[in-house]
Each structure stands twice: as structure tokens, then as C-alpha cells.
A and B are shown apart, each in its own frame.
Chain A
Amino acid sequence: MTEPARVLPEDSVPELSAEPQGGEAGARRLVERIKERYAKRITGELVLPARPAQYADLPVDLDPAIAGALRSRGVEQLYSHQREAWDQIRAGRHTVVVTPTASGKTLCYNLPVLQAARENKAKALYLFPTKALSQDQVAELMELNEAGDLGVRAYTFDGDTPGDARKAVRTRGDIVVTNPDMLHQGVLPHHTKWAQFFESLQYVVIDETHTYRGVFGSHVANVMRRLRRICRFYGADPVFIMSSATIANPEELASGLVGEPVTAITESGAPAGERHLLLWNPPVVNADLGIRASARSQVTRIARMALRGKLTTIIFARTRLMVEVITRYMKDVFDNDPRKASRVAAYRGGYLPNERRQTEKALRSGNVDCVIATSALELGVDIGSLDVCLLTGYPGTIASTWQRLGRAGRRNRPSLGVLVASSDPLDQYIIRNPEFFLGQSPEQARIAPDQLLILLDHVRCAAFELPFRKGETFGGEDLESLLAYLEEQGVLHRESDTWHWTEDSYPAQSVSLRSVAEGNFVVVDTTDGQQQIIAEVDFSSAAETLYEGAIYLVQAVPYQVERLDWTGRKAFVTRTRADYYTDAIDYTRLKILDGFERSPAGQGEAARGEVHIVRRIPGYKKIRYYTHENIGYGNIHLPDQEMHTTAVWWQMAPEALEQRFASRHEALDGFLGAAYAMHHVAALVVMSEPQDLGRAVGDGDARWFATVGANGRGQLRTLDGGECDPEQEGRFRPAVFLYDHYPGGVGLSAPLFDARQRVIGDALTLIRQCDCAHGCPGCIGPILASDEVRGFSPKQAAITVLEGLESHGSA
């Protein structure tokens, strides 16, 4: 939640009376209306002309039965990229296909796989990041299979596969569809049961490859190392076929995952309708404070226009909470007649699978006109094509923005995407510099498969699967030393040139590929004495959404959390009629453990090293609907979350601090404002997502940390929440910390340290360019009206801090 807790007047411009109507050029008419009425809010526009299809002939060597199946479904020719994929894959090259949503990428891998299954009983393994995608895939494969009577057997193998069906999957499946987690925990550790499958394994298909980045991607790269090691044991050397959304480095990511060179196919031959993209900045409603109307209010306004114009619409919101709030607002307008079928639906992680399936189906069949979703719908779940896509705030990366915008777009008619900026600095930076977004290539997807903890986990798993022999390699670290380390731990036993697993346990069970998987929480509705599970919440977000007293929303229906069973992973809720929602407050404390490198930075220094972080969620705010006023607080009693990681920090010499600031209080405000700007700039500089980095202002010894208090000014607190006075502290060396948000770090702190001067410079530019007087959510974070009154500018304080840290004569 980034909305300032203050009453905001809703947008004052009257709505259009005559709305554009759907149909052939409905989206184009909507664009014209928007530009006519809201010209000042549009900061950038892009029109991608319609693109005709590029065709290629069906390959001559394509099995006639498969060709027949294609023809029976109306496919007489292939798109050029499908044909190119066929040629590369048939030549035995690892291939990644990078083409937009709905460009027929699945045929790129299905054709060679079906052909090989019929030619020589070759087997294929399909990996999808989620179960929902697997089910879509099997359904599509089976349609083709039945259309051509191909006799190829495809089965899903996941946690839902019943025990008695598993043997059939292992021994009879030509195509086994699963996910990386199941491969890691359910297949590789039992590879002997899959011997026949691995012996004939010819293709490994990895769909949605771009999702395998960061920590998850680093784990998956190691699972692929293990997979290839097992394949070698059975004498197989499968070709990897991958598909990816547009990212800057698909080839690099793909070969990082596979461990070998991969050919990229990036030219799509699929046709596309005309596409419009508008960048929209909400109007300023308080010029002094630089406060803009919320992105949420703008998005609901545009959505109303689109829906009245009979254009199907998808709205993306950045948080589950925001999905629920917008859904409520849309339902208030369009679903207020209980006798009629619902036209508006919410879709997000945490809903039960069959509820999500129903929404997907309703979207495909056109029974729902508007869906409000989190990134859960960013992946290729089949929901058909929509006319309009609205983004509530910048999704954090360019790649993800295009991926979401791709949800609107039809082959034969125009579509519209609107990126509505929030007041976040990143959003404001992008919306004011449209060329940055429109001109820049999408981000790199980074993985760090040799991150020591991750690598060590998979060396353990690999040793269980097959003893390691001297001379083997696994990853980029010295394997023999890792094995010796595990031998010290008593996990492995060395016998001449071989290391054997000796624990009476199953290592894959204790290694989770996704850091969030430490047991999902279930939300249990106990209204009227029942006990019904209504949602699931993953571990990482449970603390901030399921605390006792929280309002938890499902399809915009409010439930209040009565009791949270932290160890049993259950939250008990009851239906309520609250007219407010709740938002958690988060304190972070940090301690420096070790410095790796340091360098002067203006009148201070920048350093990189190991830190220990404790995160505490002490309470929450109650926020009223529509007015967004803060109507109360509550306490939260939850265990602290701890983490060791790597960080970059900046601190100023005490003399310089005293010379530049009249009081320590003002200096503290300056550091908090600077940290806010630096965090967002840093995410752009290292091309990561903002949530991959954490930020904190504090004392390196963790004696105190700083937060913005209810009075809008910086406060020092000890970890137990007690306030302390900066003027009374003997030694005062505040520092801005930006840390890698994963235990042990996944390699973000090194590039960040290298870019330390640019972070300071860009943060200064961001703040200086901002139109506000004393600071706003677009530069240094929200400030309060009282700041003007007391004649102090937090914005100037932040600039003073950054100037003090700026190195002259370079950058």
C-alpha cells in the first residue's frame, strides 16, 4: 500500500456520457475519447501497427498423421517461428522460442515431441512453473492427439496424481507433464523407478522460462544439473526446448539453466492486431505536497469507460489487497443487482484451485467482462484474449509490463493497454520519462546457480541420487571441497574415489525451490460454527496479511481474522461487515557482521558486506474505504523473521553530518528520504524488481533503527519498539542500507556496489526533478502537511544527504 493515509478528493472530471461501443474498432475509439478528455494525463503513447502473419510450409518430413491432425484443426501452414523451431530442434540444438502471448509457441515444442514419440517411441518431459499451466497443456496436447488419432500418451505427474496411477505414468507415459518442484522431490530421488523413461528421454520442454530467475531460477538451474546427471547415467542426452516471454537475455538465461549453448528464436511469425499503449499520470490533487490522485481511482475510471463501451477488460494490481479493493469498487458499479450474473471477478493467488478454474472458464466463454488480477494471471493461463489491459502502477519490470499488456490483444482487432502510474518514485520516474520505458529493452533475468547455499543443497540432493565420483563436476564451485565439507558434516561418506549419501533421510524433502514454500497457511471460515477453507496464503505473506484483527478479503468480501495458529499454519476468520481494511506496519533492524569492500563516497563512505536483519511487524492500521482515512491501530504479536544476507550501505563522516545539519533529527529525516529514493533507483540500476532489494536506515550495530513516525518525522527506535532520542545518542552514524532480499544473497549486492555512484547521482536527479515543494511519494516518500508549517523541507534534507555522499569528478 502506497496510498498516503489522508482524505483525497476523488477525481473531479465528470465522466463521459456517450461511451464508445465495442466491436471492430472499439478500442481505437476508446483511445480517442481518452486522449480528447484526459489529454493532460497522457504522458506517452505508442501505437504498434497490426502485423501480418509470416507463414512457412509444413515440414516435408512431418508425420502425415500429425499433419492430418493439424489440418483437421485448420492449420495448413506454420508460422515462420514454428517452422524455424522445428528445424533447429530436429537438428538436435537446444532452443529457446521467445515470442509474444498467443503466438502459437506450444506448437513449437509439441510438433517435434509428437513426431519423435511416433518415430521411435521417444519420451519427453514437460516442465511448467505451476500446476494450472500443466493442466491446460495436457488438454491441448490431447486435442491434437485425438484429432490425429496419434496414440501418444501424455500424463500429468504432480502432487495430485494418485498413488496407484503413478506407476502407469512412469512406465507408459510418452509425455510426462510436471513442475520443477515435483521433478526435484518426486522424480529425481526415485529415478530408478523411472529408468525406462530416462533411457528414452529425448526432449525436455521448459515453458515460461523467464519465470525461472532469481532464487527460484537458481534452484531450477541446479535441478537441471541433476536431471542431466541422471540422464547421463541412463545414457540419454535430451535436447532442451524452452519458451520465454520477452526478456533482454533469453539466450543467456536459457543456457544458464541448461548449462550448454542454446539457440534463440526471437522473430514471431504470428499476426497481431493494432495495439495502443498509453502512459497515464494521475492528476495532482495537492500541489504543495505533490500528492496525486491514486492510480486505483484512475484505473476504475478507465475500466468503467471500457466496460460501458462493451470492451472486455483486465486490470492488474500489484498486491492481493489492491485486487480486492478494486474488485469491490467495480462490483459496486457493475454487480449491484444480485439477480443478475456477476460480470466482475477477482483472480489472485490464495484462491482455491477450482475457484480459479471457474474464473478462467468464465473469461474464455465471455461470461465475465472484467477481471482484476495479480501477477497470477501474468503467466500463460488460457483466458482467451481481451480488449483492454489496465495496469495499476508499474509492475516493477519492463518484461513483466509487456507480459501483462499482452493479455489484451487480438489477432483481428485493435487493443489498448494503459499504464497508470502510482505515486511511487519508480512509477513517477518512468511516467515522466516515457522514452525510458518505450525505448528500453526489457530486463535481464539473472540467476546465480552457484550461490553457495543453493549449490550445496543440490550437491546433497545429487549425492543421494547417485554417488559422486572423483573428477565429476557440478556447478562452478570446487566440487571436491563441497563434498569434503558434507563429509565433515557426516552427510556423505567417502570411500576411495566415491562419495556416498549416508543420512537416514531424504535431502530433497528439506530443500524447497521457492523460498515461500515453508508451509502455506489456510484460511478457515468459522462463521455460523462451520469450518470451511476459503483460501491459502503463502508463508512469506502470512505475517502481514493474517494477523489477529486483520481484515482478509476474498472476492471483496471482508473476513476478520479471529485467531492465527502460527505453528498449525491456520487462520480462523468470520464474516464481517467492516467498512475498513487493514494494512500492516513493518520495522526492520539490521546489524553489520562483516565488510568485504569499502570505498570513499563524498564526505562519507560506501561499503559492501554481510548483515543480519530482523524484521518485526508490530501492528496495523485500519483504513476506511473511499476516504482512506486512518481510523485506528491494533497490535500484532508474531515471531520476528531473521535473515543473514549481503548489503551495500552508505554512511557519512560524523563531522560532515554536524556541519551540514542543524540537528540530528533533520539528518535522520534526510537519510530516510534519501533511502527511499535510492531504493527505487537501485532497483532500476541493477535491473531487479524492487522487492528483490530491502532497505533500512539504521545504526550498523543495530542499537537503533529509524522509521517514519505518526508525526511524519524520522524516529529512532530500539528493536523492542521503544523510542530513543537521536540527540542523546553518544555516537551518531546513520547509514542507508540496501540489501539482497534472500538469505545469503543471490548476487545483487556486488553489481549494486559497482553502481554505488550512479545510485547516488540518479537519486539526486529524481528528487531535484520532482515538482513537489518539500517532498512527495514520487521522490522521498510521503510527508505530512505539518512539514510546511514548521518550515523544514525533508526534500532538502534528503538532497543534503545525497550531496554529502556524492563523489565529484567522476560518475
Chain B
Amino acid sequence: MGLHDRLNTLRRQSGSEPPAPGRTSADPHSAGAASGKGNVLDEIRARLDRMGGAGTGRTRPNRTAAESATPPEELARRLDGELLTPQVIQLDRAMPDCHAHGRHTLARAREPAMPFWNTDQRLGFIDTETTGLAGGAGTVAFLVGLATLRDGRVRLRQWLTTAFAGEGALLEAVDAALSECDHLVSYNGKTFDLPLLRDRRRMQRRPDAQEAAHTDFLHPVRSLFSHAWPDCRLRTVEERLLGLDRQDDLPGAEAPWAWKDYLASGRSEELERVVRHNTDDILSLTLLGPVLASVLLQPAAHGASVEGAARLQERLQGADTARRLLESHQHQLSPAGRLWLAREWRREGRYDQAVPVWEALAEQGVQEALEALAKYHEHQRRDWKRALQYAGQLASGPRAKARIARLQGRIEATAR
């Protein structure tokens, strides 16, 4: 049994789980030698061995720096970037309008994206790659990508740090670029990327950044499509809305490993794929605004939930816009959507439109419709018998009972 396994055994016995097997490795010789504490290390290893049982050895494959190790300068050259500091590579590209991204070109990025933002806002499309997905103080953002729109052109900047020591410089560059933006756009950035960057600033003792307005497309996508799609990951959004199929993509979950492998071995192929992955994520973000804006205008035509679209509109532009959207999709609405529309009509006193909706739903026994009709006949029409017919079908409860009693009282009073 190797040392690693034996430690795991000990940890299991002591009531805790063994650590998940990592995929990185380090050169054990350089570790001991560099510290100049080889003897003490041997002793500690021996003592841990003793606790775990007989035998010695370690389980991790020793992998020395590969001959193909890519130094940062070389990596910067391969990525078509430049070294901002010895540990930070900056990529800065003006993307041509004709650049194809799925079935769109980047020219689409400057099209209107109301209700998400006005085209005169200084937009920043942001995405990070990190050393872990769990969060917490030990999770570092090693790559930050930010796209801006200048004169309608997409400018994509990315900062990649090739060592932990580069984090301060990376954040400095990112914050300088962020200060030019007054509206950020992300996918799940509200809960993940931006809090993480705030944590990293604190770890680096940097001041907090100004809070910009923020559109996180995860939430609109969920409202519109969660009923119809298997999941709402960005990959799914790209496939279904942008017509983008990333053949050679590195799964996002592999990114932490790719960076650590670069740190440990100097091999950069996987890390270069992470940069391309981040590029694609951000280019998708630049297109999502105009694309989702058109989905909002014609939700049913895009397979989106009309009610979801109306909820978004209500939040972004107010109840009137939401009502108009519902009206234009009257015949595609779910019962909940129809009730909502009927509520809006009642609020405006348009009972002629609301009542048929309620009546159709009341036939199916929908409680809210029954109650609305009972109220309508009681208060608007003062037709207490009709009102009582509807009230009598309500599920029994204190409110229904009170209504029925009141209506019966009124009927009796009229009869007298």
C-alpha cells in the first residue's frame, strides 16, 4: 500500500474523507532539495508511514518538466499576445465584423438589445477561468476575458497569468479595463465570477471595484427556456440560439486542471484551449443581447415561454410592456398566463375581455377564475345568484365561506 493510500486509510479511520485524487504532480526531488529540509521531510514521511502501516513509496507519478515546456514568452507568442509583466500575458484583439460565430457574425453585436441595455452604454462582456469551482479563498482566477464595444467593433482583451505571483498585476489590468465599463454582461457572473474577483482583490489587498450595472443572462435564459431545454448551460444556449457547435471545446470543468498542469509541467496545449474556450464564451455573450431581445419580441416563435418573457419584460420595462406581450400571444398562453392577462385587463376595467377568459377557465374548475367571476358578479354586476353559483364551486375555506354567507344574506335581503 503506497503512502498516499495509507494516509487516505488513516483519514478514513479518523472520520474524514480522503482527498479527491488530484491530477497534478510535482517534482519530489526539487521539493525536498529546494527546501533544504530533506532530512526532516524524510522523517515526517517516515512517521506518517508508520501511522499508516508498513512499506514506503509514493503513489503519484513523477513527472519532470517536459522538454516541450512552454515559457511564458513563447506562450504569449503562440497566443498572439504580449507579456504585460513577466507573469501576465495580455491578448488584445479588435475582432472584425465579419467574424463568424455560429450562424451570426459579430456585426450583430452592435444591434439593439433593449430591454437589456441601450447601445450608448459602455458595455463589458466578462468571463473568468478559475482554479476551482467550489469557491472560497483558495480559488484563483487565472484567466479573465473582457470584451468591449468600441465604435461598434468588438474589442476582446484577455489576461492570463502564468504563475500565482502574477495575480496582482492581472487584477490591476482587469480593474483598469473594468473602470471603462458602466454595464457588465456575463453568464452566471453575478454569483460566480464577480464575487470571485472581489474575493481576489481582498486577497491581494486591492480596493473593491465600483459596482457597475450587471446583466447576468443565466436568469433571462432560465425564465425563457428552462421549461423546454434539458439545461441552461451556455453551451446549450449557443447550440440552440446561436447555431454554434463547439467541436474542439475543452469542457469548462477541465480548465482548473489545464492551468495546474502548465504550472507543474510547463506544457501549454491544454491551456491554449482554455484561452480559446474563454474567447468563444465571451463572443457568445456579445451576441446574446440582440438575440435574446428578438426572442422577447416573438417568444413563441423561438420556443420560449411567453409567460417567462412577460415576467422579464415586466421587470425590465414595466407592466404595460408585459401586458402588450401577453395580448399579442393571447392564444398561446398557459392557464397561468391567461389569468395574468385577465388580471391586467381587470385592473384597466376591461371586463369585456377578462370575463370570457375567466369563464373558459372556470369550466375547468380553476379556482382563481371562479373567485374572479364571483367577485365580478357580486361587485360589478350585483348579480348575487350568479355570484353564488361561482362561489359555491370554490374550495371550502374561511374566505369562501364568508363570501357564500354574505351572498346568501344579500339574496335573502333582496327576496324580503
Q: Which residues of A contact B (CB under 8 A)?
A: 189-193, 195, 452-453, 456-457, 460, 463-467, 477-478, 480-485, 487-491, 493-496, 498, 500-507, 509-512, 514-518, 539-540, 593-594, 610, 612, 641-644, 742-745
Contacts and interface: CB of A to CB of B under 8 A. Distances in A.
Contacts of B340: none
Contact of A453 (B11, B37, B133): B11
A493 B31 contact: no
Contacts of A506: 132, 134-136, 138
Chain B CB count within 10 A is highest, among A456, A485, A494, A510, for: A485
Contact of A467 (B16, B164, B260, B264): B164
Interface in B350-383: none
Nearest to B4: A489
Nearest to A493: B263
B35 A480 contact: yes
Nearest to B205: A233
Contacts of B37: 478, 480-481, 484
Main secondary structure on chain B at its contact with chain A? helix
A422 B16 CA distance: 35
A494 B163 contact: no
Contacts of A480: 35, 37, 40
A293 to B, nearest CB: 39
Contacts of A191: 137
A644 B134 contact: no
A189 B164 CA distance: 18
B324 interface: no
Nearest to B259: A502
B14 A505 contact: no
B298 to A, nearest CB: 35
A-B residue pairs, 6 tightest by C-beta: A464-B138, A192-B199, A501-B138, A743-B13, A481-B40, A504-B132
Contacts of B35: 480-481, 483-484
B44 A478 contact: yes
B24 A493 contact: yes
Nearest to B10: A743
A610 B195 CA distance: 48
B34 interface: yes
Contacts of A500: 140, 164
A257 to B, nearest CB: 20
22 contacts: A189-B138, A192-B137, A192-B198, A192-B202, A193-B199, A453-B7, A464-B138, A484-B31, A485-B48, A487-B26, A488-B26, A495-B164, A498-B165, A500-B164, A502-B24, A504-B133, A507-B138, A509-B17, A511-B16, A594-B50, A610-B50, A744-B10
A700 to B, nearest CB: 14
Given A477-B44, A501-B138, A515 B15 contact: yes
A704 B14 CA distance: 25
Contacts of A641: 13
A785 to B, nearest CB: 41
B51 A644 contact: yes
Interface in B140-174: 140, 163-165
A489, A501, A512: residue with the most chain B Cβ atoms closer than 10 Å: A489
Contacts of B395: none
B9 A504 contact: no
Contacts of A488: 26, 28, 31, 58, 60
Contact of A503 (B20, B25, B163): B20
B41 A485 contact: yes
Contacts of B52: 644
B112 interface: no
A648 to B, nearest CB: 16
A644 B10 CA distance: 7
B131 interface: yes
B132 A493 contact: no
B19 interface: yes
B139 to A, nearest CB: 9
B256 interface: yes
A512 B199 CA distance: 25
A495 B259 CA distance: 14
Nearest to B13: A743
Contacts of A744: 10, 14, 51
Nearest to B6: A644
B22 interface: yes
A760 B16 CA distance: 36
Contacts of A489: 4, 22, 58, 60
Contact of B138 (A463, A498, A516): A463
Nearest to B133: A504
Interface of B: 4, 7, 9-11, 13-20, 22-26, 28, 31-32, 34-35, 37, 40-41, 43-45, 47-48, 50-54, 58, 60, 131-138, 140, 163-165, 195, 198-200, 202-203, 256-257, 260, 263-264
A496 B165 contact: yes
Given A463-B138, A489-B60, A515-B15, 17 more contacts: A192-B200, A452-B48, A465-B138, A466-B203, A467-B164, A484-B32, A487-B26, A488-B60, A495-B263, A503-B24, A506-B136, A510-B11, A641-B13, A644-B13, A644-B51, A743-B14, A743-B51
Contacts of B34: 494
B125 to A, nearest CB: 25
Nearest to B137: A465
B202 A195 contact: yes
Given A488-B26, A496-B165, A505-B20, A517 B137 contact: no
Nearest to B198: A192
A723 B54 CA distance: 29
A493 B262 CA distance: 12
B134 A504 contact: yes
Contacts of A501: 138
A491 B24 CA distance: 8
A509 B20 CA distance: 11
Contacts of B41: 481, 484-485
A742 B60 contact: no
Nearest to A467: B164
Contacts of A465: 137-138
B137 A504 contact: no
A485 B20 CA distance: 17
A493 B199 contact: no
Nearest to B260: A502
Contacts of A517: 15
A460 B19 CA distance: 11
Contact of A498 (B19, B53, B54, B164): B164
A505 B17 CA distance: 12
Contacts of B32: 484
Contacts of B26: 487-488, 490, 493-494
Contacts of B31: 484, 487-488, 494
A177 to B, nearest CB: 22
Contacts of A643: 13
Contacts of B58: 488-489
A644 B53 contact: yes
Nearest to A596: B50
Given A478-B44, A493-B260, A612-B53, A742 B22 contact: no
Contacts of B40: 478, 480-481
B257 A504 contact: yes
A246 B231 CA distance: 59
B45 A505 contact: no
B45 A512 contact: no
A204 B205 CA distance: 24
Contact of B14 (A453, A460, A502): A453
B14 A189 contact: no
B164 A493 contact: yes
A24 to B, nearest CB: 50
Contacts of B53: 593, 612, 644
A481 B54 CA distance: 21
Contacts of B264: 490, 493
Contacts of B14: 453, 512, 515, 742-744
Contacts of A502: 22, 24, 131, 260, 263
Given A480-B35, A484-B37, A593-B50, A466 B137 contact: yes
